[in-house]
Amino acid sequence: MQPRYESWQKGSHHAVASCNDCHMPSEFVSQYLAKAENGYRHAAAFAFDEFREPLRIKPKNAAILQAQCLHCHAESLHDVIGKNELRCVHCHDQVGHGPSR
């Protein structure tokens, strides 16, 4: 996880968004359900030495990430992004974590 943290420090969102701002839902109940699910999965992966590098976002968490992009940037996007369009990170892949190594 350290390389992801270090790359976030170089990303453009470093000054305005924490990990949770992008990777967790905004709604209270949804946020804690996602934290519990991810925490369990991460703990099991570490406990059984099944943590794979490089990290890959799961589809459910990719959907959360997309929703958070839209949550913060909705006013500037208007009707540009629809449900069947590309995800924000398709074009803006270095926004959250800076340049890839």
Once rounded to an integer, what is the mean pLDDT over residues 29-56? 90
Classify residue 98: in a domain, yes or no. no
For residue 64, what is the domain's CATH number? 1.10.3820.10
Whether 75 is in a domain gets the answer yes
Find the domain containing 68 and state its range: 2-91
Query: Does residue 15 lie in a domain region?
Result: yes
Residue range 32-60: mean pLDDT, rounded: 90
Q: Is residue 101's pLDDT more than 60?
A: no
Tally of structural domains, the chain: 1
Q: Is the pLDDT of residue 70 over 80?
A: yes
pLDDT of residue 80: 61
Helix axes 59-77, 28-47, angle to 10 degrees: 140
User: Which whole number is the average pLDDT over 31-48?
Assistant: 93
What pTM does this model have? 0.80
